[in-house]
Amino acid sequence: MTERNTLLRSAHDLGLAAWFGGSLMGAVGVNGAAEQEGGTRLDTARIASAGWAKWAPLGALAIGTHLVAGSGLLIANGGRVRHQAGVGASTLAKLGLTGVALAATAYTRALGKKVELDSSDDAEDREAAQEIPVGTTRAQRQLTLMQWVVPGLTAGLVVLNALHGEQQRPGQQTLGVLRKMAPGSTRGA
């Protein structure tokens, strides 16, 4: 590989690092602090909701940065994805897992918004919470689970990122291209 994509790689990796790290810190730190300091279910929900709401814009920026830079890297490495055995498969796995992580993150935010609105002091917020079809108790249970699912999924993306890095070693590139070009090869993208 003769091209360097340092800016794209950095943005891609920093976005993923913030997505993973922010979700893990929230599950451990924000929720743990809210549980410790909240006292009541309502106060715990308010504290946790306030912390997660503060993180949400930066989390969205991190995810967007990861996705945009990842798209740029996919374009820049399109030839390798097509011609090096194993790279296409790992790329498809990473795309699929990214989609699942995005869906889980969006669902988690929707559940969090329900809990945030329902625990608000503002009557209009509590009224808006009633328009969201899932019940508050159910939303809180699902939210507790989903706030651990997101860091688990993004950790999987970090592992696939490491695999992609290993596949870019010169020896791996040469071997991958030769395997793909071999007559009767069933190894593919």
Question: Which amino acid type is present at position 26?
Answer: G
Q: Which of 131, 133, 147, 137 is nearest to 115 (CA)?
A: 137
**Calpha distance 157→97 (Å, rounded):** 7
Render pLDDT for 95-111 as a digit per residue (tens, 0 to 9): 999 999 999 999 999 99
Which stretch of DSSP H or E encloses residue 130?
Answer: helix 123-130
Q: What is the pTM of this model?
A: 0.84
**pLDDT per residue as tens digits for the range 6-55:** 999 999 999 999 999 999 999 999 999 999 999 999 999 999 999 999 99
Q: At 37, is the secondary structure helix, strand, or coil?
A: helix
Listed by start position, the domains of the chain span 7-178
Task: Using the predicted structure, report yes or no on whether residue 181 has a pLDDT greater than 90.
Answer: no
Residue with tokens 């993973």: 20
CA 61 vs. chain centroid, Å, equals: 12
Tokens of 1: 């590989």
With cut-offs at 50, 70 and 90, classify the pLDDT of residue 125. confident
